[in-house]
Amino acid sequence: MTRPRASLVSLSDTPWYHVVTRCVRRAYLCGFDRLTGRSFEHRRGWVELRLRQLAGVFAIDVAAYAVMSNHVHLVVRVDADRAAGWSDDEVLRRWRCLFRGPVVVERFLSPATRAGMTEAELDGVAGLVAIYRARLADLSWFMRVLNESIARAANREDGVRGRFWEGRFRSQAILDETALLAVMAYVDLNPIRAGIAEAPEESAHTGIAARIAALRAGDEGTAIGQHLDVAYRPNVGPETSPEISPDSQRPIPYQRKTPASHAPTPPEPENDASPDARSTNLWEAALNRLPPAPLLPFGNPAEVPAAIPFTFGDYLTLVDSLGRALHPRKRGAIPAELPDILTRLGIAPERFVEHAGFLLKGFGAAIGAPERLTALAAQRECRYLRGLRRARLLFSAA
């Protein structure tokens, strides 16, 4: 039975989610189309860059991702508490990184005009702040902006109109740390399982490759800039740099009325472009100027609440070991030394390797230990959640 998105993405249950979004029919997100002889490999960079840009605006952190030929995997953490702590000005500035918004918002953000606003106008702005604050911590809005911007760029490149993505995205709640580890490894190993990469560091356009590049560079910011090259940006205009707020280190949105010395220059649409096309080009130009945000770090949640609750070294060992076991030429082989982290987290090592290649297909709306799935089913007043049998096999080391 189809369930509403509000019940599938419930932050009271968990802030962690696995997301999959797919292209329609034979549409190629990226990769090589043997039928037409066209390569769409460059589109992987579009998705990767836009994903990291939006993570710097929304209260949503990206823990892992894999951009495949016709679908995208994400593991994200929704941080509603962070959005709740933003000031009204911060909320409005972030939202205007994505959408221009009504004129009253522009007046509110300008000290010169805010003083002359009426009480009714201020109340209207307060209502908009509440709406925008909720949207900036909403997984559906995050995916909407990501998918829409990529679809417009791909359709423009193909010279077609219509749907590019296969309806709405699919989401799965990740209920515990064990499931989080399993899902992240599943996502990061997608290119290896598909036979298009030999090792995690060679898995282009994945979170694990970006992390390893940052580790090798010794500077995550530098590595991100090298890894997410501006050549990937769709419909990018003249080289410009977004203004960064010294207080929040977040991008200040594109505004039409700014001093000439500071105003970024968006790409001009064609002379015969319609008003809708001009608006779209300005919107995409504003998105293209957003700086990419770093991936969610690994660390101790007691010290850094918004962190992946493992050490990066343990995770690299796990991914490397599973990658060897899941390599197409070594399918079914068990590494001689499985990482201790599996035993520590109560994961049956042999079963993990056996099931990792098709881990998520056995689960429905949520992934986690058997007791967590049972509790969630009772909370949602349903008889069961799909995946209970798989959870007993995978997450029971005894």
Q: Is-contact 149 156, C-beta < 8 A?
A: no
Instruction: Show the tokens assigned to 314.
Output: 């343990």
SS3 59: coil
Q: How far apart are CA 66 and CA 80, in angstroms?
A: 24
Q: Model pTM? A: 0.75
Q: How far apart are CA 103 and CA 203, in angstroms?
A: 45
- Choose the most confident range, by mean pLDDT, from 6-15, 25-34, 140-149: 140-149
Q: Is-contact 367 173, C-beta < 8 A?
A: yes
SS3 351: helix
Under the banding of pLDDT at 50, 70 and 90, the label for residue 380 is: confident
Q: Is the pLDDT of residue 265 over 50?
A: no
Residues with Cβ within 8 Å of residue 26, at least 6 apart in sequence: 33, 35
**Model pLDDT, residue 104:** 92
Q: How far apart are CA 218 and CA 81, in angstroms?
A: 31
* Spacing of C-alpha 110 from chain mean position: 32
Q: Is-contact 149 98, C-beta < 8 A?
A: no
Q: Is the pLDDT of residue 241 over 50?
A: no
Q: What share of the chain is helix, strand, coil (3-state, %, to 5)?
A: 45, 10, 45
* Spacing of C-alpha 44 from chain mean position: 13
**Model pLDDT, residue 58:** 96
Q: Is the pLDDT of residue 301 over 80?
A: no
Amino acid at 185: A
- Choose the most confident range, by mean pLDDT, from 63-72, 81-90, 165-174: 81-90
